[in-house]
Structure 1
Amino acid sequence: MNKLSYFLVAATFVSSLSLAQDVKESKGFYQFLTEDPTQKPFYSDRQGVIASNGMVASAHPEASRVGVEILKMGGNAADAAVAVQFALAVVHPAAGNIGGGGFFVYRTKKGKNYTLDFREKAPLKGHKDMYLDADGNVIQGLSLSGHLASGVPGSVDGMVEVHKKFGKLAWATLLQPAIDLAEKGVVLTLKEATGLNRIKNDLKKLNTDTTYFRRPDGKDWVEGDLLVQKDLGQTLRRIQQKGRAGFYEGETAALLVAEMERGKGIISAEDLLQYHATWREPLVGNFKDYKLITMPPVSSGGVALLQLMKFVQPYPLKRWGWHSDSTIQVMIEAERRVYADRAKFLGDPDFVKVPIKELTSDEYLKNRWKDFTFNKATNSKEIDGGLIPGYESLETTHFSIVDKEGNAVSITTTLNGGYGSRVIVKGGGFLMNNEMDDFSIKPGVPNMFGLIGNEANAIAPSKRMLSSMTPTILEKNKKLYMVVGTPGGSTIITSVFQTILNVIEHGMTMQQAVNAYKFHHQWLPDKTTFENGAFTESVIKRLQEKGYILEMQRNTIGRMDCILIRPDGTLEGGSDPRGDDTSIGY
């Protein structure tokens, strides 16, 4: 097939999606096709889900089904979010949780914006050297697995706060679907079965009760097996009946504290009583005709996203084309500088001064860009966090929801690593997080995602650890336009960044933007990782000639779950084919 024929086939495919009006503005990503007609820009040819009354895009089909049922019952986006969060704790144990935490971004139908921080906290007995030996060296693995790796969970209190402020339906109604899934069982997908088999030795090593997540006959799980979680069902019933007190007090709290004592963890009853989610001022910025509403610190994602969008705004990305060498180079150099700033400046704003205004100012970013040249790659060793006068020195899940009235939710929530600390609360049936690794356990020492931290993110009692989670909502002309987010550890920020640009600059539909291959740079280590198929050979050659270190990644990048409001007012759900992610609308 010659280049012209392939171009025509590709154009016909895009038109067949019945979303052609979204693609007409830009043909930028076709440059990729014409440069190498044998190479597609998409991980999958999955098409978006179109609906007019409401949409839920989440990491698991059962969770999305639960969310849509709540919307059909008259619940709003916040109600659906609560139900989806608890459902994910049952059907997606790798990341869905009640033993973790996260961030909630909400835009009402009238355009008012809210953000809730229900990130975990360091226990009261936590201290900055708790993972170091007598010589001051990091004790490998101590912040990653086992009881000492867990921060105080925030997910339950976060959902209580969301319901208290925005909920329409009864709390008990929102918990019931998750309880049914736990007690009656959920059918395992291939990915969930594979994941549970992968961690079975860790579960056996770290837990005194080895019956959790074990197939009754002791054999490996297979796709189609029924996973029943009776103890988790009882825990959810206590939350259903008593709300916040059903988790942070009483029987569940006693079970959690007993589990900590059994494994030499340090979360206490007082830690649980003192934990409260925090409503924060949304972080708002602009990119051309679009308004971005995103999460402030202790998320690093919002600040980083606004910096990235400002860095690339002056450049004609649409004309250059999707994943052309010039487009990629500008994006890599922006990412390099943003992640250096993340390491130096960002931490819990309740403990350290985070200079958000300065970091996102035009003057500051202009100075950060002075040493950029198209002639060669910048050396990350020569890029440190910027200078601000007076400043003192992979597993997560995301879901997006839009209801019939136009209220929108973007939530990212996490246990940190897949299946968290691998510790299951005996009698409670839920996994604990390993979020303590997201602190800077020693300045300059990378965490599990290779991210470098500094004093701003050092451990302190009741302090929240820095996060890359970037739940975001976009407006266009003061109307709801897009809801985006993803899991992926350090790649969250860059995945959200690329997905937004794929729609706005490269004319992709929501599902195409999700499907599109992705890449990632995070300052240190000084290399760009990319999905197999993301770059053509000629682009790789040109970038390498300029000194860029490129490394094809065996794993995929991101698990986007997003919603786009199309010109005719209908909703397009785009869920990632890299996982079990599913959009359902009505």
Structure 2
Amino acid sequence: MQRVVFVSLWIALVACSRKPPPPPPPATPGDAAVIVKKEDGPVHADPKRVIDHVNGAYVGSSKTYMVVSEHSLASIVGKEILASGGNAADAAIAVHFALAVVFPTAGNLGGGGFAVVRTAPGKSLALDFREVAPAAATEAMYLDDKGNPTDDSLTGHRASGVPGAVAGMWALHQKLGKKPWAELVKPAVALARDGFEIDSFLNNSLGREGSKKRMLKSPASAKQWYANGAPLPTGTKVVQPELAAVLERIAAKGQDGFYKGETAAVIAEEFKRGGGLITEKDLAEYKVEWRTPLSFKYRGHALTSMPPPSSGGIVLAMAAGMLADVELGKLPWHGDEHVHRLAEVWRRGFAVRNEVIGDPKFVKAIPLEKLLSPAYHVELAKTVTAKATPSKDIQPPREGTNTTNLCVVDANGMAIVITTTLNTSFGSGVTVEKGGFLMNNEMDDFTAKVGAANTFGLVQGAANKIVAGKRPLSSMSPTIVEDAKGNVLMLVGAAGGPRIITAVWQALSNVIDFKLGAANAIANPRVHHQHLPDQVRLEAMSVTREVEQALIERGHKTDWSFEKRDFGAANAIVKAPTGWEGAADPRGGGAAVGD
């Protein structure tokens, strides 16, 4: 009989597996510019090599300040704000609005997210501007007559929660901003009015089957981003006059330029026409939440991340606690012991994430103190053996695609990480007519039916059920690391659904445990486990064939992926001897720019 790990509730096992093609000859340590291709199998895993081109715009260094985002134009906007006397909050706000124009895959006005800010040594803030369920939302709204989930939570007007992005940027400026608000929005206005050229990343994203299907259902989306049903070609100049007009109202009136007046009326009209739920009243009543940051230690470093309704900080803290007595840096990087340890701690962390975490306003029994307790982490660590623990035997404790990330650090040491999302790429696919911006499909992040997987394969519990006014559970994990002296060591965040958490952890560990710089910490191959489905996901070139076989012998099921974005798209800023090193993830796009 299997030994049962008592950490609380029984969960069903789901598993699948496929094998990679034969590998090419092993790479040698020091190889640096290997392009990931589908035909590439696993090769020699070495922490000093990278999986893609990390030169040029992806990586940057500077003496005093640094901006990293998923689009070079947005990063440049942030740099110019800093160069003209703005602080990190100013730059982050400007980058966010620029991304809403040039990175419609995830940059947004119609979504939401989280921000973690380090204002001084040991002093941090956490801002929750997550979307909320509209007032008309109900627990069973995405179930058919037989009680099975429909795809209404992903596509079309009924998929959207009330957006929080604009309110989040406004709240950040009210508390920390230095430059005039309008000055931070104007660069985005210019990009929307004057246009930008579609790059290969955006062209490819528009052409992906799921995104294209959702987008073409919206006349405004089809008109803006497609020609005769085909994505606009790379190099096409795109102008967005309706979006420019909305941004001008936001520049002039702050958050009221979005949540009240003309823009709110346009949004409500769009949702009424499409059978959605969002009303002008929903928009007018939206509020951000300033929360107590979630803080924990790892290897003598102080880490700050988001508390619930983000689950990322808790899973990261649990991983840090469970691995506290394991000297990862002395293990062969991505050897079977290393990957096994990661899979086992993530398996346990995600079991908790999927069952007991939710919006703290609605879920009163989140055992936060226990989940962050070193004693509990030691208890969990003792359940990790040399063999894989089946996910069905992991019981969480009870008491009683697509996202984008940006990092900014300024000359005075203020540091900010913002992760924001539409959920899947291009969200619900609905572009607001007369508004020119896409809306989220964040309602899919709720539990439509307990035990049923969402679009990311997450099987979640009743703590995350739909309630009007509630924020859905999230994996977003904006995180800041300080060294033992209170100096900023690292800023990191990622896109990628549940893979955000494991991408952020691996970047952190690559820096702290394996002493890598930003470029290799971000670009190196990754692995992933999220409790269910019960499998270790392996990125191309992440492990050798021998390591995979050793994992199988330990009881793990493995599954290979050759899609670069399947393992998240992270970016980071890391302290360097001469200043800062920034890295945008070559799995996506973007740029790191500094002084």
Task: Check whether the contact 1:39–1:536 (CA below 8 A) recurs between aligned residues.
Answer: no
Quick one: distance in 2 between partners of 1:129 and 1:576? 38
Quick one: distance in 1 between partners of 2:530 and 2:28? 35
Which residue of the partner structure matches residue 591 of structure 2?
582
Out of 416, 419, 427, which is 2:426 matched to? 419
Q: In the TM superposition, what whole-angstrom CA distance separates every residue of 1:323-356 from its partner, at most 9, and x where no partner exists?
A: 1111111110000000000111100011112221
Quick one: distance in 1 between partners of 2:103 and 2:262? 24
Quick one: distance in 2 between partners of 1:51 and 1:422? 38
Please state how far the C-alpha of 1:202 moved relative to its aligned partner. Answer: 3.2
Task: Check whether the contact 1:441–1:458 (CA below 8 A) recurs between aligned residues.
Answer: yes
Amino acid at match of 2:248: R
Out of 52, 59, 64, which is 1:53 matched to? 64
Please state how far the C-alpha of 1:455 moved relative to its aligned partner. Answer: 1.1
Quick one: distance in 1 between partners of 2:49 and 2:560? 15
Which residue of the partner structure matches residue 444 of structure 2?
437
Is residue 326 of structure 2 the alignment partner of residue 326 of structure 1? Answer: no
Question: For the structure 1 residues 331 and 229, does the alpha-carbon distance in structure 2 shift closer, same or farther, using more than 3 Å as the test?
Answer: same
Quick one: distance in 2 between partners of 1:577 and 1:530? 17
Please state how far the C-alpha of 1:200 moved relative to its aligned partner. Answer: 4.5
Quick one: distance in 2 between partners of 1:212 and 1:405? 41
Which residue of the partner structure matches residue 127 of structure 1?
138
Task: Check whether the contact 2:27–2:44 (CA below 8 A) recurs between aligned residues.
Answer: no
Is residue 156 of structure 2 the alignment partner of residue 143 of structure 1? Answer: no
Which residue of the partner structure matches residue 403 of structure 1?
410
Mapping of 1:134-533 within 5 angstroms? 134-139=145-150, 141-198=151-208, 199-207=211-219, 210-215=222-227, 220-353=231-364, 354-374=366-386, 376-386=387-397, 388=398, 391-392=399-400, 394-477=401-484, 478-533=486-541
Q: In the TM superposition, what whole-angstrom CA distance separates every residue of 1:9-59 from its partner, at most 9, and x where no partner exists?
A: 56xx79xxxxxxxxxxxxxxxxxxxx9489984212524411012100000
Out of 58, 70, 75, which is 1:64 matched to? 75
Larger CA deviation: 364-373 vs 86-95:
364-373
Task: Check whether the contact 2:45–2:542 (CA below 8 A) recurs between aligned residues.
Answer: no
Please state how far the C-alpha of 1:365 moved relative to its aligned partner. Answer: 2.2
Please state how far the C-alpha of 1:210 moved relative to its aligned partner. Answer: 4.3
Task: Check whether the contact 1:51–1:571 (CA below 8 A) recurs between aligned residues.
Answer: yes
Quick one: distance in 1 between partners of 2:333 and 2:46? 16
Question: For the structure 1 residues 101 and 36, does the alpha-carbon distance in structure 2 shift closer, same or farther, using more than 3 Å as the test?
Answer: closer
Please state how far the C-alpha of 1:201 moved relative to its aligned partner. Answer: 4.7
Q: In the TM superposition, what whole-angstrom CA distance separates every residue of 1:190-240 from its partner, at most 9, and x where no partner exists?
A: 11122234445533323367422235x876422211111110000101111
Amino acid at match of 2:588: G
Amino acid at match of 1:71: L
SS at 2:498 equivalent: helix
Amino acid at match of 1:43: I
Q: Which runs of 5+ in 1 are unaligned?
A: 15-34
Amino acid at match of 1:221: L
Quick one: distance in 2 between partners of 1:381 and 1:204? 40
Please state how far the C-alpha of 1:176 moved relative to its aligned partner. Answer: 0.6
Question: For the structure 1 residues 38 and 526, does the alpha-carbon distance in structure 2 shift closer, same or farther, using more than 3 Å as the test?
Answer: closer
Please state how far the C-alpha of 1:363 moved relative to its aligned partner. Answer: 2.2
Question: For the structure 1 residues 345 and 218, does the alpha-carbon distance in structure 2 shift closer, same or farther, using more than 3 Å as the test?
Answer: closer
Is residue 585 of structure 2 the alignment partner of residue 573 of structure 1? Answer: no
Amino acid at match of 1:421: S
Q: Which runs of 5+ in 2 are unaligned?
A: 1-24, 34-42
Quick one: distance in 2 between partners of 1:539 and 1:487? 27
Which residue of the partner structure matches residue 116 of structure 2?
105
SS at 1:560 equivalent: strand
Amino acid at match of 1:585: G
Please state how far the C-alpha of 1:318 moved relative to its aligned partner. Answer: 1.1
SS at 2:81 equivalent: helix
Quick one: distance in 1 between partners of 2:510 and 2:541? 16
Quick one: distance in 1 between partners of 2:554 and 2:262? 61
Quick one: distance in 1 between partners of 2:507 and 2:536? 17
Question: For the structure 1 residues 399 and 209, does the alpha-carbon distance in structure 2 shift closer, same or farther, using more than 3 Å as the test?
Answer: closer
Which residue of the partner structure matches residue 558 of structure 1?
568
Please state how far the C-alpha of 1:301 moved relative to its aligned partner. Answer: 0.3
Amino acid at match of 2:83: K
Amino acid at match of 1:486: A
Quick one: distance in 2 between partners of 1:95 and 1:157? 17
Task: Check whether the contact 1:495–1:518 (CA below 8 A) recurs between aligned residues.
Answer: yes
Which residue of the partner structure matches residue 10 of structure 2?
none
Quick one: distance in 2 between partners of 1:468 and 1:37? 27
SS at 1:489 equivalent: coil
Task: Check whether the contact 2:45–2:334 (CA below 8 A) recurs between aligned residues.
Answer: no
Larger CA deviation: 542-551 vs 190-199:
190-199
Larger CA deviation: 232-241 vs 127-136:
127-136
Please state how far the C-alpha of 1:145 moved relative to its aligned partner. Answer: 0.4
Amino acid at match of 1:537: R
Q: In the TM superposition, what whole-angstrom CA distance separates every residue of 1:425-472 from its partner, at most 9, and x where no partner exists?
A: 110000000000000111111111011111111110100000000000
Q: In the TM superposition, what whole-angstrom CA distance separates every residue of 1:388-440 from its partner, at most 9, and x where no partner exists?
A: 4xx24x00000100011111000100000000000011100000000000001
Question: For the structure 1 residues 551 and 130, does the alpha-carbon distance in structure 2 shift closer, same or farther, using more than 3 Å as the test?
Answer: same
Task: Check whether the contact 1:293–1:474 (CA below 8 A) recurs between aligned residues.
Answer: yes
Q: In the TM superposition, what whole-angstrom CA distance separates every residue of 1:551-577 from its partner, at most 9, and x where no partner exists?
A: 111212121110011244x00001111
Larger CA deviation: 274-283 vs 313-322:
313-322
What is the TM-score with the length of structure 1 in the denominator?
Answer: 0.91
Quick one: distance in 1 between partners of 2:178 and 2:357? 36
Q: In the TM superposition, what whole-angstrom CA distance separates every residue of 1:286-337 from its partner, at most 9, and x where no partner exists?
A: 0121000110101000011100111112112111121111111111000000
Amino acid at match of 1:403: D
Question: For the structure 1 residues 205 and 37, does the alpha-carbon distance in structure 2 shift closer, same or farther, using more than 3 Å as the test?
Answer: closer
